[in-house]
Structure 1
Amino acid sequence: MKYPYTKIILLLLMVFLSTAAQSQKHVFSLGKTDFLLDGKPFQMISGEMHPARIPEEYWRHRIQMAKAMGCNTIAAYVFWNYQETAPGVFDFSTGNHNIAKFIRICKEEGMWVLLRPGPYVCAEWDFGGLPSYLLKIPDIKIRCMDPHYMDAVKKYVARLSKEVTSLQCTNGGPILMVQVENEYGSYANDKTYLETLRKMWIDNGINVPFYTADGATAYMLEAGNIDGAAIGLDSGSGDEDFKQASKRNPNVPSFSSETYPGWLTHWGEKWARPDTAGLLKEVRYLMDNKKSVNFYVVHGGTNFGFTAGANAFSATQYQPDLTSYDYDAPINEQGQATPKYYALRNLISKYISYKIPDVPKAIPAISVPDVMLKPFTSLWQQLPKPIASPQPKPMEAYDQNQGFILYRTKLIGHKSGTLTITEPHDYALVFVDGKFVDTIYRDGGKWSIKLPKTESKEPVLDILVEGMGHINFAQYMIDRKGITDRVTLNGMTLMSWDTYLLPVDEKFISSLKLQTVSDPKNGMFFKGTFELNETGDTYIDMSKYAKGVVWVNGHNLGRYWNRGPQQRLYCPASWLKKGTNEIVVLDLHLLEPATVKGEITLTE
């Protein structure tokens, strides 16, 4: 038998050349006005997306969607608290925790990467990406040289660096630049802190250029940028913005590090729908002036589970973010191209020399007919062993991140009157002798309600508190969950509490057992099943329910609230299966079950 030696040699040569191309090393550097790739001016057209907000199965599709819009780069936040799940316990391997895999897929799809590792990121993400275990330290100070904070940061930087150093362009990977902190000039002015962060990355093997990102104002740039780092502008939309960058440092390039195609939405607001005409004008300016740009975000994804953050700009304000991070982005929550996407694609195509690929096919979406749920159990039947304390402590004191927490005491002395919680973080339900009295919501500072008179000799007071997301921006980020100080009745401080931890995490939900609920009260679990012949993305419509959390096949889809505007929760096809699927709902107010169904869009 004759072997086709020529063909074998050619095949081996092709494999070698392909491998060499994949591992080709590049030099990305900062010119005086331009970014330089291997010594030549390079314009980054970047689309930002966050691996933690996208099911791993859809990473490649979303990256391909950004490329087909005209992007040549992907910007990605790394959420520290998503990677370090407990002190010293890191997850860089399971599901969408695998940051290195995401970056490698970018490389395979011919995309460069801007890495945004924090440690603080904002991003409408719980605690701005910082791990909530820091809040167990009573006097913790964040985003500065506080030794407790910096010790944790040092461990995070060292661990993340092991995942990403080999993926720098200097080593044949796609990472061009690394961001130092995030919008620091909006928060503080500790240059020692910023320089220490940069040195940490360098000491751990990061050798690509650094950049900072701040608002285009003189004081923010002075406080937030460090010498030698490229200047990102959030956003850079005109000559005056870039003049501010040049005044800060005329010897490094600047770019629009966050150009906003959409915007965030809080519970109780209308969906944010920014003007597309203004966006196109800004992008046209950037293209005309050959400025690099990062679209924040090109695709938002979803705040699955308890990952959504919140804003607050006063001591009594609290604005929790929706579960959906659709953001009115060019690529919507489910990964579909919007009219905004095609408008940007058309505009970008007029300026670039490379060919834009065809738009990938959309992920199939399915509807699910009405599913009638049934009472399953209640939080009150799932109470763990209580923990005694003189006064209430927040969740973080017990190593609980979010979920729910129940505080219980007996009323001795005063039995009725004005009950004040200082401070309720974030949504509290108050009961006396098992009967629901009222709710107290953190926003607005109205933290008092009237307790009715009772004939009971020693009434039992229960306060069930839901954490709705740690504040992720500005000056009020030290934001512990539960009751953060004290409870008073007519001015008397109530003592001797039992505390019940209710994290309602995956382990908690999987352990639930069917129990007859003879006396339904706020905090009911409902359960049902539905059959599928085929899977597809769907949105679980919760419009007949009040407020709570939804799990499908054990996956936490996130929070819902009839306050709106969001009524439907995204469920990716990868979390469904052919045959029988299970849905569990925890509702804080509904006592009788209702139906849910699956829709094919986020909104009607």
Structure 2
Amino acid sequence: MKKVKLLITLIFAVLPLMMHAGDFTVGNKTFLLNGEPFVVKAAEVHYPRIPQAYWDHRIKMCKALGMNTLCIYVFWNIHEQREGQFDFSDNNDVAEFCRLAQKNGMYVIVRPGPYVCAEWEMGGLPWWLLKKKDIRLREQDPYFMERVKIFEKKVGEQLAPLTIQNGGPIIMVQVENEYGSYGEDKPYISEIRDCLRSIYGDKLTLFQCDWSSNFEKNGLDDLVWTMNFGTGANIDHEFARLKKLRPNAPLMCSEFWSGWFDKWGANHETRPAKDMVDGMDEMLQKGISFSLYMTHGGTSFGHWAGANSPGFAPDVTSYDYDAPINEYGGTTDKYFQLRKMMQKYSKTKLPAIPKMPAPFIQIAPFELTEHADMLMGADSVVMDSPLRTMEELDQGWGSIIYVTCLPAISTPSVLTLNDGHDFAQVFIDDQYIGKIDRVRNENSLQLPAVKQGQELKIYVEAMGRINFGRAIKDYKGITNSVTISTDVEGHELIWNLKRWTILTVPDDYQTAKKALAAAPAPITSKMGYYRGNFNLKKVGDTFLNMEQFGKGQVYVNGHAIGRFWSIGPQQTLYVPGCWLKKGKNEVIVLDVVGPKKPVIMGQTTPELDKLNVEKSRTHNNPGDKPDLNSAIPVSEGKLQAGNGWQMVRFNAPQKGRYLVVQALSTHDGKDVVSIAELYAVNAKGGRLSREQWTVKYADSEETKRGNNTAEKSFDLQESTYWRTEKGIALPHLVVIDLGSEQTITGIDYLPRMEEGAPGSIKDYKIFVY
């Protein structure tokens, strides 16, 4: 009888959808919606970055811009946080988000990965995949593919009934994501395509996205091809190759970047509103479909913010993205400029802008009076163990503490972590010695002389796993070895420390509550858990000011609000009013560094652009500048004007650790030089890995008008760039440390994507030493 009732319920649920079944296909130079030409005007939004109570408001905000579609990623790792345990409830209810879109008259484009990037922890891949140490991510690794297909099937159970053919809002599904930036593997892409086709059927349109410079590497003949590029790009150039290969295909920019993401220790990123609006206006004039990434970014609550590479550049909690709809769902100047332009392409008046779902409130400063040592949060202890990573100890996120006894060392020595992922603090007998910060490419610090048996403690906090490039296989904790070295009478002595007690400290709310509820224990440092309360007469959105605290996580009424770090640029955390209540509200802070004062207040505006860095982000130390007066260039000449990749090849292979590019003049005749991307070419003609690259020296870097430091020339992002300051005379110079001696036969150089390629190099010299 229960089965009959369930069947009847399903029939009544599906029948209204079947009555409105439609179709979305590819026509001659256009998409066709139910047989009629259709331009996709999509707004990218991410349901886990928006409180469920605010979904409807954000969707209405997109519709009021003139958008007809929502574009969403499906984040594997938030739905399957433990292997085999799936969660599609509450804020993870992606099917409900799609139904809500349809209620608001919006179509949906689904991007189910398995990899999504999105400046999200590990690019959306679950951490527990790394428990299999030899796993090959985003390849035809048997275990990886097995888990991918299980996940995609689970997503399909939620979303397949909601395709347009079934009367739902979903018009397209994406196959993988920007794979050309990862590798070349058509068999893998084909297997992902086949998996999705088996779930969504042959009639639903499948597409793949990539950059104009690499989309041919993995483009499959039976998929729609779309391009990704950003504000200010030369749009004709971005589609030129696609139009040549597929002259009758519809054109679509599946990610038109409205702004950019922020990382800890760098200024808040912005992009001009006019450039964004002009680019979208041009696409609409030419009948080009688009998805505006992001239209509303939202917040990477909890530990879900990722990190970028080369190097290690963790992203802040706010995913404001300088988008038209800001982090907390409000309008911006970009919003109004975009809405005005979009009205031109609507036959009817655009819907009214919806009111904010909650007011903004202030919260008077309050003290967090309860304090528990960080050790009280340990959920497992492993004794007399070799070094292990978090993943080996079945831990996804949080901190890990390594403890061992030291040998007698009568002189100062150097402690080296090979490698510490990510933020390590070192103590000897509870005395703080110093920190080793992966963000700053540090791996060692000096220890004082120690006696036999003194205790060494290394607290390692994991930040977001890398979300882009080959470095996504990003283990946490100490991933290799710990050594101590010193020099005694001209002889180097090295100790490899191998016997450890290891404690794991998860960063979830339940662990924080447990630590604070435990029996009182001696407080050994300011680091640890803090709890306080505030009372409200009325509920509203607010921004917790964390400037008195050091580094860690915040929980409000059990909700994981996100990471904070005193270095900035983000100094406040967005707290949605729907997570607050009248009367008493609880705040718990896990501070892995320790506060100046355990005091917090709530303010009505955010602070996203206040830096407190210890040293300059520029690379102009005079001692690092090479003397090129007597040096002989390995190549010199003129580069071409315009957009697109250019290749320079040397007359003979060159060996060296440092690559020097010197710009003597520019094509536009100005003194500002820019490089969007730079590769070194190896002896076989392939591109060298850039994972170990760092900037040794740059004579000029623009940090006042943007984050245009020299590492942008090899950050795997074609839309970002190194740019010199205006008014600084040529020549300009950048010196890149390749990490070790390499054999180089040339370079590949990419100027900026904008029309005219501003700042592109004309006369150049290249040195290797």
Matches of 2:35 and 2:562, distance apart in 1: 47
Matches of 1:90 and 1:203, distance apart in 2: 21
Match in the other structure for 2:722: none
Code of the residue aligned with 1:104 in structure 2: it is R
Aligned partner of residue 476 in structure 1, secondary structure: helix
Assess, with a 3 A threshold, how the Cα gap between structure 1 residues 171 and 19 changes in structure 2: closer, same or farther: closer
1:216 is aligned, of 212, 218, 221, to: 212
Match in the other structure for 2:198: 203
The C-alpha deviation readout for 1:523-581, integer Å capped at 9, x for no partner, is 22221110001111111000111111111111111110111000000111111111000
The C-alpha deviation readout for 1:241-271, integer Å capped at 9, x for no partner, is 1122223433532201111111101001111
Code of the residue aligned with 1:82 in structure 2: it is I
Matches of 1:524 and 1:509, distance apart in 2: 9
Code of the residue aligned with 2:389 in structure 1: it is P
Assess, with a 3 A threshold, how the Cα gap between structure 1 residues 36 and 419 changes in structure 2: closer, same or farther: same
1:600 is aligned, of 600, 604, 607, to: 604
Matches of 2:602 and 2:440, distance apart in 1: 35
Match in the other structure for 1:38: 34
Match in the other structure for 1:360: 354
**Is 1:459 aligned to residue 443 of structure 2?**
no
Aligned partner of residue 204 in structure 1, secondary structure: helix
**Is 1:245 aligned to residue 242 of structure 2?**
yes
Q: Is the 8 A contact 2:376 2:515 kept in 1?
A: no
1:61 is aligned, of 57, 62, 84, to: 57
Match in the other structure for 2:343: 349
Match in the other structure for 1:473: 468
**Is 1:496 aligned to residue 499 of structure 2?**
yes
Match in the other structure for 1:12: none
Aligned partner of residue 504 in structure 1, secondary structure: coil
Q: Is the 8 A contact 2:548 2:595 kept in 1?
A: no
Code of the residue aligned with 2:238 in structure 1: it is D
Matches of 1:384 and 1:286, distance apart in 2: 54
Match in the other structure for 1:440: 436
The C-alpha deviation readout for 1:375-413, integer Å capped at 9, x for no partner, is 421112343441135421111112211111111111135
Q: Is the 8 A contact 2:516 2:529 kept in 1?
A: no
Match in the other structure for 1:322: 316
Structure 2 stretches of 5 or more lacking a match? 1-11, 486-493, 609-769
Query: What does 1:5-154 correspond to in 2, within 5 Å?
Result: 20=16, 23-93=19-89, 95-154=90-149
Matches of 2:482 and 2:19, distance apart in 1: 61
Aligned partner of residue 118 in structure 2, secondary structure: coil
2:286 is aligned, of 286, 289, 299, to: 289
Aligned partner of residue 129 in structure 2, secondary structure: helix
Aligned partner of residue 443 in structure 1, secondary structure: helix
Q: Is the 8 A contact 1:180 1:212 kept in 2?
A: yes
Q: Is the 8 A contact 2:384 2:499 kept in 1?
A: yes
Relative contact order: is structure 1 or structure 2 higher (C-alpha 8 Å, sep ≥ 6)? 1
Q: Is the 8 A contact 2:20 2:167 kept in 1?
A: yes
Aligned partner of residue 507 in structure 1, secondary structure: helix
Percentage of pairs with the same residue: 38
Q: Is the 8 A contact 2:377 2:506 kept in 1?
A: no
Code of the residue aligned with 1:513 in structure 2: it is L
Q: Is the 8 A contact 2:209 2:254 kept in 1?
A: yes
**Is 1:272 aligned to residue 269 of structure 2?**
yes
Q: Is the 8 A contact 1:271 1:565 kept in 2?
A: yes
Matches of 1:150 and 1:594, distance apart in 2: 47
Match in the other structure for 1:312: 309
Match in the other structure for 1:582: 586
Q: Is the 8 A contact 1:551 1:557 kept in 2?
A: yes
Code of the residue aligned with 1:242 in structure 2: it is F
Aligned partner of residue 66 in structure 1, secondary structure: helix
Code of the residue aligned with 1:575 in structure 2: it is W
**Is 1:234 aligned to residue 231 of structure 2?**
no
Assess, with a 3 A threshold, how the Cα gap between structure 1 residues 591 and 102 changes in structure 2: closer, same or farther: closer
Give 1:87 shift: 0.7
Match in the other structure for 1:164: 159
Matches of 1:28 and 1:226, distance apart in 2: 19
Code of the residue aligned with 2:341 in structure 1: it is L
Code of the residue aligned with 1:181 in structure 2: it is E
Give 1:517 shift: 6.0
**Is 1:555 aligned to residue 555 of structure 2?**
no
Match in the other structure for 1:505: 508
Match in the other structure for 1:10: none
Matches of 1:308 and 1:382, distance apart in 2: 22
Code of the residue aligned with 1:222 in structure 2: it is E
Aligned partner of residue 380 in structure 1, secondary structure: helix
**Is 1:540 aligned to residue 544 of structure 2?**
yes
Range 69-78 or range 246-255, more displaced: 246-255
Q: Is the 8 A contact 2:184 2:218 kept in 1?
A: yes
Match in the other structure for 2:328: 334
Matches of 1:426 and 1:248, distance apart in 2: 45
Q: Is the 8 A contact 1:427 1:467 kept in 2?
A: yes
Matches of 1:32 and 1:322, distance apart in 2: 43
Structure 1 stretches of 5 or more lacking a match? 1-15
Q: Is the 8 A contact 2:43 2:69 kept in 1?
A: yes
Matches of 1:38 and 1:205, distance apart in 2: 18
Range 505-514 or range 560-569, more displaced: 505-514
Match in the other structure for 2:671: none
The C-alpha deviation readout for 1:96-132, integer Å capped at 9, x for no partner, is 1111000000011000001011000000000000011
Aligned partner of residue 130 in structure 2, secondary structure: helix
Q: Is the 8 A contact 1:227 1:249 kept in 2?
A: no
Give 1:33 shift: 1.2
Match in the other structure for 2:417: 421
Assess, with a 3 A threshold, how the Cα gap between structure 1 residues 205 and 590 changes in structure 2: closer, same or farther: closer
Q: Is the 8 A contact 2:552 2:592 kept in 1?
A: yes
Give 1:355 shift: 3.4
Code of the residue aligned with 1:39 in structure 2: it is G
Match in the other structure for 1:5: none
Matches of 2:464 and 2:254, distance apart in 1: 26
Matches of 1:248 and 1:433, distance apart in 2: 67
Matches of 1:23 and 1:563, distance apart in 2: 56
Matches of 2:386 and 2:444, distance apart in 1: 18
Q: How many residues align?
A: 581
Give 1:520 shift: 4.1
Assess, with a 3 A threshold, how the Cα gap between structure 1 residues 82 and 436 changes in structure 2: closer, same or farther: same
Aligned partner of residue 85 in structure 1, secondary structure: coil
The C-alpha deviation readout for 1:109-166, integer Å capped at 9, x for no partner, is 0000010110000000000000111111111111111112111111111111111110
Matches of 2:380 and 2:253, distance apart in 1: 53
Assess, with a 3 A threshold, how the Cα gap between structure 1 residues 545 and 444 changes in structure 2: closer, same or farther: closer
Match in the other structure for 1:192: 187
1:303 is aligned, of 279, 297, 300, to: 300
Match in the other structure for 2:405: 410
Aligned partner of residue 177 in structure 1, secondary structure: strand
Matches of 2:86 and 2:17, distance apart in 1: 32
Matches of 1:450 and 1:473, distance apart in 2: 33
Matches of 1:356 and 1:98, distance apart in 2: 29
Aligned partner of residue 378 in structure 2, secondary structure: coil
Code of the residue aligned with 1:510 in structure 2: it is K
Matches of 1:245 and 1:447, distance apart in 2: 45
TM-score, scaled relative to structure 1: 0.93
Aligned partner of residue 190 in structure 2, secondary structure: helix
Q: Is the 8 A contact 1:509 1:554 kept in 2?
A: no
Q: Is the 8 A contact 2:66 2:350 kept in 1?
A: yes
Match in the other structure for 1:527: 531
RMSD of Structure 2 on Structure 1 (CA): 1.8
Aligned partner of residue 268 in structure 2, secondary structure: coil
